[in-house]
Amino acid sequence: MSSKGSSKYIRIQAKKVRVLIERGDDELLRFFMIRDYPSLDDAVAAAKRWRDETHLEKYGTPVTDAVFQLKRRRQRAEQLDPATGLPLPQLPPGLSYGFHRGRLLYLVVSHQVEGRPTRTRVPILDGKIMEAIAQAEAILAKYRMDAPREAP
């Protein structure tokens, strides 16, 4: 493929160029027959044009080589404590539950130190989850207070 740009979602097959955009549960599929274009490069260019326009229209972002996580990995596990089966408290932004071998062991505090993303673990001791949440919120508040503020 001598056409410039990313070839993400594009596959060249025997007689056609396939564009398959799969994001989450959505799937967009279109074929570009090579014989309908003067050359393979023209068919690939048409496929890329369609891919870029469709992706921007449907998802609101241009096509990039980066991989985006669309769904939470532990949707069900974050709702119920695996040990007791009881619902877990909802956490504020910046906090998440940490599991190891199916057991809830700690809370994860996501923050930035000197502009770099960092995570801190807060252990849940003796099943006292509310104390761990309070401790994690205090850590999060400390890092938010230390963050430099931009002048308006």
Same-domain pairing of 15 and 52: yes
Residue 2 lies in a domain: no
Same-domain pairing of 81 and 107: yes
Same-domain pairing of 89 and 144: yes
pLDDT tens string, the chain, 152 residues long: the values are 444 556 889 999 999 999 998 876 778 999 999 999 999 999 999 999 999 999 888 878 788 877 665 555 544 444 677 777 788 888 888 888 888 887 888 999 988 888 788 889 999 988 788 999 999 999 988 877 665 555 45
Same-domain pairing of 50 and 77: no
CB 88 within 8 A of CB 78: yes
Q: Could you list the residue range(s) of the whole structural domain that residue 33 is in?
A: 10-59
How many domains does the structure of the chain reveal?
2
Q: Which residues pair with 80 in a beta bridge?
A: 87
Residue 112, phi-psi category: left (phi > 0), alpha (psi -120 to 50), beta (remainder) = beta
Q: What is the pTM of this model?
A: 0.45
